[in-house]
Chain A
């Protein structure tokens, strides 16, 4: 009985996961775009200036 319970539990969970994966795989973008933080550039160095 415990064996059957284990098999049923694992396979039901697995099928739920796979059906959900199929749904999400179609609706979600595959690869998340990460938000890269731009490093602030000081005003003085935004354009090249000839040193005096």
Chain B
């Protein structure tokens, strides 16, 4: 009861504050989409479409009150739009139309809203608020989960989270991957936050949150979490300035993991090596083989939830005389996109992931010489690390249309647009072929006059032309 009333208060707070500042409703949608209060509240919030209301308020706030300074059109934005169109088109030839519509309903909203976010999240403060909201939305789940793992040790299939069932944040693979993706963001916020009061304890609090996220990921006993953790460690070490110090921290964490994990965890993780003897790992390989066979005859994919038509023949092994299983999930983001949206879908997906990583590297390289823009370098590195976790763990869990990947893409596009605005505010001059293509160079100039929601506020530098 208390939980439900508190969540209602938070939800109403988002709506109320968004009247004064429209970007708050977008953050509210990120909170609703990530934390899913409607699945956790026992009364009120589970009675009405909370996400739809928040989404409409966010869109309405943008279109009616705050349409200044749109971001430049990037390859990533175009790919997101193309992906949204393509996944809608695959409904036409969906193998399981009912289930396909059901999944399209939330997957399309995720892609569409992620495409919209860079239009309203523009300033440094807003970008950081986006990152903070995402981390704290997840923290509501993994802080208590991590504490419970420290007390009880966790376990495979043991649901210690807020949600019941085996979907959303209650699913171990999704939970562990989203937790690991939040780790670099939390570490970034520990050193670059503007929004949290400057107490000495605050960086430690963020490191504590990152520690609980890692504990939660390990406590799920998911093998994909271990792969993600190793990739995260390697990537963050590669991007860190103090490689020796960071290497020592990683070595200590590795020792703690080895000596503190139980025999059950070690037994579970060690099955990565002998996949042919382990049913879950072996079934993945058979499902992926089925998917390759399916797209050979259906190159445009079979629409959302195509896995429901598969049948996997397990050959005789040991005491098992062999059997057939039906409707096994893809257990891989790549094969999920390939099976559901065919070769065009996987090409768009890989292009989106690859081009975003390259864009983030370019952003970091551009911002590195300027002390004022070091936070961009830090956030770019954090987003790269998070995406590296997704692309590695996601190879073994079907997460392609879950919000975290799309929000990381959005955050990257926001960061790129921010740097673009800074460059144009500083009066950069295009050179080479760009100078010939864009002649004359049009400097960035914000829309004249204050927006409706800022009328009466003191004039600030942002309304002044640079």
Contacts and interface: CB of A to CB of B under 8 A. Distances in A.
Interface of A: 2-11, 13-22, 24-36
Contacts of B139: 6, 9-10, 13
Given A6-B147, A21-B128, A22-B17, 7 more contacts: A2-B147, A7-B140, A10-B139, A13-B196, A26-B454, A31-B425, A33-B426
B388 interface: no
A24 B3 CA distance: 30
B194 interface: yes
Contact of B126 (A6, A11, A16, A25): A25
B195 interface: yes
B418 interface: yes
A31 B454 CA distance: 17
Nearest to A27: B460
B269 interface: no
A37 to B, nearest CB: 8
Given A14-B136, A19-B17, A25-B126, A32 B372 contact: yes
Nearest to B127: A21
30 contacts: A3-B162, A4-B2, A6-B139, A6-B141, A6-B147, A7-B3, A10-B139, A10-B140, A11-B7, A11-B136, A13-B196, A14-B31, A14-B132, A14-B137, A15-B10, A18-B14, A18-B17, A18-B24, A18-B129, A20-B196, A21-B24, A21-B129, A24-B125, A24-B195, A25-B126, A30-B421, A30-B461, A31-B466, A33-B422, A34-B422
B144 interface: yes
B143 A10 contact: yes
Nearest to B466: A33
Given A21-B128, A24-B125, A26-B454, A31 B133 contact: no
Interface of B: 2-3, 6-7, 10, 13-14, 17, 20-21, 23-24, 27, 31, 35, 40, 69, 122-126, 128-129, 132-133, 136-137, 139-145, 147-148, 162, 194-196, 370, 372-373, 418, 421-422, 425-426, 446, 454, 457-458, 460-462, 466
Q: Across the A-B interface, give the 9 residue pairs with the lowest CB-CB distance, nearest first.
A: A29-B461, A6-B144, A10-B140, A21-B129, A30-B462, A30-B123, A2-B144, A6-B143, A14-B136
A33 B425 contact: yes
Contacts of B148: 2
Q: Which of B133, B137, B418 has its CB near the most chain A CB atoms (within 10 A)? A: B133
